[in-house]
Structure 1
Amino acid sequence: MPNPHPAAVAAANSFDEWTQLHEVVVGRAEYYTAHNVDTSWRLFFHDNVAPTLGGDSAASDLLPIPDQLVDELNEDITGLVTALAACGVNVLRPAAPGKDVDISSPFWSARATPPLNIRDQTIILGNTIVETAPHVRARVFENDLLKPLFYSYFEAGSNWLSMPRPALTRDSLDDAYFRRQGIDVSCATDGETALGIDGLGLEMIFDGAQCMRLGRDVLVNVANRNHELALRWLTVNLPQLRFHRLDGIADNHIDSVVVPLRPGLMLLRSPKYLSYLPLAMQSWDVIYPPATNESDFPDYTDFGFVIPIASRYIDINVLSVNETTVVVNAHYPELISLLEKRGFTVVPVRHRHRRLFGGGFHCFTLDTVRAGGCDDYLG
């Protein structure tokens, strides 16, 4: 019988964010027609959606996304695929999603999200594919569309692990990060419609984008009990790596906060984040990205009720092809100019609706094969 799985070039090998990129998976967004604005989604994107949604209790409603914006997003993703291929990178894609797929468990229901921000549900740690434990109910089955690729890597010799799948019941999510800062998240939680499970409290819930890889060392953002459980799981299952806990540098993802560009040099959102990093990184050279404001992003007024779910720092979310070549949003010319002055070759790629769909080029990609190994960059 012929092998039904797409052929990968080799087994997975990806220890860092900057050595030569040989193979990458780029997400896809067909039929990304709505956000399912349930409690899990509202809590995950709380900083950006709370001011707009406020105390609206219609927590199970769908927030439509206009077809024109989805079409433009897909045009921009095609541009990313073309640009990476032109850099000599082998580009793979997830399976195509079905249209308007509704999913459910015994405890909740949601409209499924397509595999666009694939960095979230998976992290490659060396030769190991690690499927993580999603925060948002609509994303629970997202990785099924990457399984053909995962089987191909497995057959080529990769290891493949999965965190325990969370039930994501009404009691699963920890809002401690917000409570510590005195932030009221009742507008996210008061409309909860999910059921509970007796005896099940806070679960292991974690995204791959809470990590940054530096060879043998991995930075791990831990903002609550959900993340603490995941860090323990990572430490037990991957003892050959050194995991460095960052105590609440953000509520979840960190790839628009700290982005290592090569050993000794990183993009960092602002100086206030330096103290969160391991001491060895605090002496690295830092590029602080130019400021952005709301006028740098599309105005969706003419499209009705459209909510940007990502922060205005999303364009820091760059993807390195190697130590001197970086893919950057063409709509962030200030960062392009700054990186070029520092000697980088910048590959500008258009990405118009990054805030609306919650991801930049690092989010959209899963770098499965890079040249680097389990090197010690922190000593």
Structure 2
Amino acid sequence: MIEPGCGVNSYDEWTRLREVVVGDPASYTSHPLDTSFRMFYLDNVRPTVNVGDGRELPIPDQLVHELEEDVEGFVDALTDADVRVLRPQPVTTRTTVASPWWSEPETPPLNVRDQTIVLGDTIVETAPHIRSRMFENDYLKPLFYRYLEQGSGWLAMPRPALARGTLDTSYFDRAGMDLASVTDDTETRELPGLGHELIFDGAQCIRLGRDVLVNVANANHQLGFTWLQRVFPKFRMHRLDAIADSHIDSIVVPLRPGLLMLRSMDYLQSLPEPLQRWDIVCPPEQDESAFPDYNGFGFNLASRYIDINVLSIDEDTVVVNSLCPDLMRTLEKHGLTVIPVRHRHRRLFGGGFHCFTLDTVRDGGFEDYFA
């Protein structure tokens, strides 16, 4: 057993969770509407890309309060399960962040899985896709320094400029999508000679001991994959070829060695051959009517599959949205104990329980689960 206070130790998604960072939704009162945001959430934002007259889409106060209630309920459930919960510093006054190339309203540190990945005993800060999230990890730095003092490694991918023209659109080009309405980035400056740069999120990775699945959908991600291979040669990095435009933790969800939840069997052949021999759980379909309707003021960020974004406490216990009884029953049929926690606005704020967390201490080690 790994005790808290000994630095980070997190190699997988399912061994006993001892310590975790849970994101903070304070001041999450709007979404930015710049090109980097709209392209990242293209599938869901594109139909309503012209919503709002300014640079931000306001979120009603009542929905922000309900999100805060649900996150606190999640924290209470983790604490009751004997998990030590750490929190980032909250955003008390939301400000504008800027570089020589752009300026945007900052995003609070809610979906902390996106900007960081823990690989064994090392914290890795990743290279944000969205301009407004560039300095989000500053709110976690007091925690990262504590881990550094306890002996953890701490690295950062090269910080992207996110200047005009640095985002690779090839994933969408291959799908025949018209990007004219989301690439009219006239307020952002170009950085001549830069081209496509390293842009990569932690949620593009799924950890399975010494093996790490890495989704690569474009040239930005390929640079991130190459960086991970070079900096972490002891891990086996498995390149998944564009199974999504970015994040995959609502597609591929390992629950314990030998048991894997997949959004659908269509993804099976994209996985490394050893994983194809595991038992596969496919979640029940969620109809659009199961979610709140935000069309009166905005749009969904996440897809209707967001609720498979669960968090494992150990190999037998998993936190699931209490608003998904069919999913809870499905997992219970596979021998899992379900901790139900309410999460109403997962599609509006773009994250489930896995997104909201950075698991820094788990009992597992550098195991070969593919052997």
Common fold, TM-score beyond 0.5? yes
- 8 A contact 2:48–2:298 mirrored in 1: no
- 8 A contact 2:292–2:345 mirrored in 1: yes
Q: Percent identity over the alignment?
A: 61
Cα displacement (A) at 1:376: 0.3
Distance 1:275 1:345 in 2: 29
Distance 2:52 2:346 in 1: 26
Q: Please, which of 13, 28, 31 is the counterpart of residue 32 of structure 1?
A: 28
Q: Given the alignment of the two structures, is residue 361 of structure 1 paired with residue 353 of structure 2, yes or no? A: yes
Map Cα deviations across residues 48-86 of structure 1 (whole Å, 9 max, x no partner): 0101125x796x611000110000000000000000000
TM-score (norm 1): 0.95
- Partner of residue 306, structure 2: 314
Cα displacement (A) at 1:192: 4.1
- Partner of residue 339, structure 2: 347
One-letter identity of the residue aligned with 2:172 = F
- Partner of residue 113, structure 2: 119
Cα displacement (A) at 1:129: 0.1
What secondary structure does 1:311 align onto? coil
- Partner of residue 41, structure 2: 45
- Partner of residue 76, structure 2: 82
- Partner of residue 128, structure 2: 134
Cα displacement (A) at 1:299: 2.3
Cα displacement (A) at 1:180: 1.1
Q: Given the alignment of the two structures, is residue 160 of structure 1 paired with residue 154 of structure 2, yes or no? A: yes
- 8 A contact 1:38–1:192 mirrored in 2: no
One-letter identity of the residue aligned with 1:189 = T
- Partner of residue 293, structure 2: 299
Map Cα deviations across residues 263-295 of structure 1 (whole Å, 9 max, x no partner): 111110011111110011111110000001110
Equivalent runs, 1:1-379 vs 2, <5 Å: 9-53=5-49, 61-300=55-294, 304-379=296-371
Map Cα deviations across residues 150-185 of structure 1 (whole Å, 9 max, x no partner): 000010010000001000001110111111111112
**What do you get for the CA RMSD once the two structures are aligned?**
1.2
Distance 2:232 2:226 in 1: 10
What secondary structure does 1:153 align onto? helix
What secondary structure does 1:356 align onto? coil
- 8 A contact 1:57–1:191 mirrored in 2: no
- 8 A contact 1:175–1:224 mirrored in 2: yes
Aligned length: 368
Map Cα deviations across residues 72-103 of structure 1 (whole Å, 9 max, x no partner): 00000000000000000000000111322111
Q: Which runs of 4+ in 1 moved over 6 A?
A: none
Distance 1:147 1:316 in 2: 29
One-letter identity of the residue aligned with 1:121 = Q
Map Cα deviations across residues 323-372 of structure 1 (whole Å, 9 max, x no partner): 00000001111000111111110000000000000000000000000000
What secondary structure does 2:348 align onto? helix
Map Cα deviations across residues 7-27 of structure 1 (whole Å, 9 max, x no partner): x62210000000000000000
- 8 A contact 1:23–1:369 mirrored in 2: yes
What secondary structure does 1:188 align onto? coil
- Partner of residue 4, structure 1: none
